[in-house]
Amino acid sequence: MVITAAHVPAIVALIAGILILIMPRLLNFIVAIYLIVVGLIGLGLLRWLHL
C-alpha cells in the first residue's frame, strides 16, 4: 500500500483516537494542537503543510 497525502488525515485520526482511548487526558492537548495547526495552515503560515 502506498501512503499518499489523502491517507494522512485518516492515519492521524486513527492514532489520535487510540491515544485518547489509552489516556483520555490527552484529548484536550490533541484537540488544541489540531486546531492550532489547522488555523496556521488556513492562514497560510505553514504553506509546506497545505495539501
Tell me whether residue 1 is in a domain.
no
Q: In whole angstroms, how large is the CA radius of gyration of the chain?
A: 13
User: Is the overall model pTM greater than 0.85, yes or no?
Assistant: no
List per-block mean pLDDT (blocks of 10 residues) for the chain, which spans 51 residues.
Answer: 76 83 84 81 67 53
Tell me whether residue 27 is in a domain.
yes
Tell me whether residue 3 is in a domain.
no
- Which string of DSSP letters, residue by residue, matches 2-49? ---TTTHHHHHHHHHHHHHHH-TTHHHHHHHHHHHHHHHHHHTTTGGG
Domain extent at residue 17? 8-49
Tell me whether residue 36 is in a domain.
yes
Number of domains the chain is built from: 1
**What is the model's pLDDT at position 10?**
81
Tell me whether residue 42 is in a domain.
yes
**What is the model's pLDDT at position 49?**
55
Burial of 21 (0-12, 13-18, 19+ CB in 10 A): exposed
Tell me whether residue 2 is in a domain.
no
